[in-house]
Chains A and B, each alone.
Chain A
């Protein structure tokens, strides 16, 4: 039996409720006496930190990446490591990346050719994002002491206005930049060797350029942003609703999901709304700018599938309601890692 929470479980890293509780109980509590810097710090539990420097804001974030398998349809851990950090900066409002760092921890016995392939992919993604890697670190650990390959990237960028994930207000419209669940489903299919037909491919991509376009069109009317990685759209919306103290109503029929992903999700008994995305963002937009933001997103190659998926209300703060088209229900916040159904 799982027993109490005296040991760290996999659910504590899955991006859901369990992980948030762990961060609050262990990391934030320990920081209790330390004065937080001005700006957006750890206690905001946002995608990154924002610190005022003169008349601008320094945004920084860090992210460690592990994925099984290391190479998956649509990408690999190298592309993931760059995209994850660049996108965390971008959804904070910092789309011009000054620099990235990259630390590599490799297990003894890891194929050198695979490492070279990963690094080439990482460099290509860094070029694509215009985010130069300026320093790094390499460690090798004994066989069995680490599982294959772990990449850590950190990024810094400047912006004139940080966009928090807590900026939603009643009446705001929620926009997603494209289809959801692609990354999670592609990796799950590869990991469990599920022989599913159809082209399940990860959406992993740096989307700072796409976000720049949206901010250009919407300006201050883009009130909140978040990238729905682990825990998917569901976790991201729950966090945004709770931190912004608004209710969110999502129209399930308008949430873009590729047919292959929907079919696989139905088969496995997993809701696409909890599957990770690695090249998408959720934007909370004031009503006056929704059309302009949508048009700008759709004009970008990575935003063609952008759609309006819901709205914020002043009722039931912190709750996400799903309108299924047939009825309505509360969207449960994912607790841990989604697993394929057993029977």
Chain B
């Protein structure tokens, strides 16, 4: 008898159907068994994927031999200490800082932007790049947009730059580009990741074709997936099929949004304004091509070139205390889980976070904390 197609629901565009989810969960079990290794490790690189996996309790349903790890998929979390220090230094010069809310409490070397705000610095939360422009138009003072995020938000930053910024607005770019980070992780010895689940929303911009050279280089499959529970399960089923067959291909399981070429206008805007440069990802490494810096043509809007930015006084030789025990770096690199961290849920909570992973709603620790931690439910159900 033929096995029913576990991806049938997905093809019919029904994204929330528990019965069909169960068929896919069964398929994960069969595929993991067919692969025969334990564990089979797959990595996703997106906070929204982790949100959905945790919220719907999917991890409790995965076969024991399947490990689904979250990699460096939280842009706020990988914003480096030095970049936060630069923001704080700017704020202390009297420059108004506009930034996304999640950034406020991310610790710098000695203080966060929220701490700087408590000392009198002017820090404004914005919800979009466009709001930073509106803010600058309202204020008769220098404003710097502390811009963070991956390809998705970087395109929005590029768009306001191409439209022309008010003279008093500059941008401190902490934008990151995901594909080079995947390269670094794929090459990390001992991590044993066998396939990547790529984030559907970023791929709407880059196109799924951006992963083809990666798959060939590392002989590792990549599947682009969306964010409904069935999207994620379908992505994992497809990824395990490619692993089982030893096929280092790229599959697009989010065709309702993602094409091979992606959004060409957005890419043009992105690469007109930014160039990839080597940069530090917090707790992980210097990643060649992992940061997005302004091209010389746009030097005029670059806060790093407009202001003398000296973050050195913020570097503290003092003992880092609690932060020394924080495992954010190895959690973001996919080496450790939040529950491996001695601070998780005790000394480190969303109310008083020690590491960036507990600050951002995209951070692994915050997500695990919100949804009850590791689903070790035993015979509960």
Shortest C-beta distance, A180 to chain B (Å), equals: 17
Asked if B44 CB lies within 8 Å of chain A CBs, one says no
Which residues of B lie under 8 Å from residue A247 when comparing CB positions? 380
Known contacts A327-B61, A342-B125, A343-B100; A332/B372 CB under 8 A: yes
Contact of B380 among A3, A269, A319, A341 (CB under 8 A): A319
Asked if B379 CB lies within 8 Å of chain A CBs, one says yes
Chain A residues 307-340 with CB under 8 Å of chain B are 313, 315-316, 319, 321-332, 335-336
A341 to B350, CA, bound (A): 13
A2 to B348, CA, bound (A): 12
Asked if A253 CB lies within 8 Å of chain B CBs, one says yes
Asked if A134 CB lies within 8 Å of chain B CBs, one says no
Residue of A nearest to B361 (CB): A341
Q: Assess the A330–B373 pair: CB atoms within 8 A.
A: yes
Shortest C-beta distance, A9 to chain B (Å), equals: 8
Asked if A11 CB lies within 8 Å of chain B CBs, one says yes
Asked if B339 CB lies within 8 Å of chain A CBs, one says no
Asked if B349 CB lies within 8 Å of chain A CBs, one says yes
Q: Assess the B351–A11 pair: CB atoms within 8 A.
A: yes
Contact of A315 among B59, B233, B379 (CB under 8 A): B379
Q: Assess the B380–A326 pair: CB atoms within 8 A.
A: no
Residue of B nearest to A316 (CB): B380
A316 to B379, CA, bound (A): 9
Contact of B351 among A315, A332, A336 (CB under 8 A): A336
- Quick check: which of B50-58, B294-302, B304-312, B313-321 contacts chain A, the rest being far away? B50-58
Asked if A94 CB lies within 8 Å of chain B CBs, one says no
Shortest C-beta distance, B292 to chain A (Å), equals: 19
Asked if A1 CB lies within 8 Å of chain B CBs, one says yes
Chain A residues 246-291 with CB under 8 Å of chain B are 247, 249, 253, 269
Which residues of A lie under 8 Å from residue B229 when comparing CB positions? 326
Q: Assess the B115–A1 pair: CB atoms within 8 A.
A: yes
Which residues of B lie under 8 Å from residue A321 when comparing CB positions? 377, 380-381
Q: Assess the A332–B370 pair: CB atoms within 8 A.
A: yes
Residue of A nearest to B350 (CB): A335
Chain B residues 55-90 with CB under 8 Å of chain A are 55-61
A2 to B351, CA, bound (A): 7
Asked if B18 CB lies within 8 Å of chain A CBs, one says yes
A329 to B61, CA, bound (A): 10
Q: Assess the A327–B375 pair: CB atoms within 8 A.
A: yes
Q: Assess the B100–A325 pair: CB atoms within 8 A.
A: no
Which residues of B lie under 8 Å from residue A335 when comparing CB positions? 349-351
Shortest C-beta distance, B249 to chain A (Å), equals: 27
Q: Assess the B102–A328 pair: CB atoms within 8 A.
A: no
Q: Assess the B21–A343 pair: CB atoms within 8 A.
A: no
A34 to B232, CA, bound (A): 57
Contact of B56 among A3, A249, A327, A342 (CB under 8 A): A327
Contact of A330 among B21, B101, B127, B377 (CB under 8 A): B377
Which residues of B lie under 8 Å from residue A326 when comparing CB positions? 18, 21, 56-58, 61, 229, 233
Known contacts A249-B380, A319-B380, A330-B377; A342/B58 CB under 8 A: no
A332 to B371, CA, bound (A): 6
Which residues of A lie under 8 Å from residue B350 when comparing CB positions? 335
Which residues of B lie under 8 Å from residue A341 when comparing CB positions? 361
A321 to B379, CA, bound (A): 11
Contact of B60 among A3, A325, A328 (CB under 8 A): A328
Residue of B nearest to A333 (CB): B372
Shortest C-beta distance, A249 to chain B (Å), equals: 6
Which residues of A lie under 8 Å from residue B201 when comparing CB positions? none
Known contacts A332-B370, A336-B351, A343-B101; A323/B381 CB under 8 A: yes
Q: Assess the B351–A329 pair: CB atoms within 8 A.
A: no
Q: Assess the A328–B351 pair: CB atoms within 8 A.
A: no
Shortest C-beta distance, B131 to chain A (Å), equals: 11
Chain B residues 121-151 with CB under 8 Å of chain A are 125, 127
Residue of A nearest to B379 (CB): A315
A238 to B332, CA, bound (A): 31
A323 to B372, CA, bound (A): 13
Q: Knowing that A321-B380, A323-B57, A330-B373 are A-B contacts, what are 18 other residue pairs whose CB atoms are under 8 Å apart, sorted by A's residue number?
A: A1-B352, A247-B380, A253-B18, A315-B379, A316-B380, A326-B18, A326-B58, A326-B61, A327-B375, A328-B57, A328-B381, A329-B54, A329-B372, A329-B375, A335-B349, A341-B361, A343-B102, A343-B361
Q: Which chain A residues have a beta carbon within 8 Å of chain B's beta carbons?
A: 1-3, 11, 247, 249, 253, 269, 313, 315-316, 319, 321-332, 335-336, 341-343
9 contacts between A and B (CB under 8 A): A249-B380, A269-B361, A313-B380, A316-B378, A324-B57, A326-B18, A328-B57, A329-B60, A330-B377
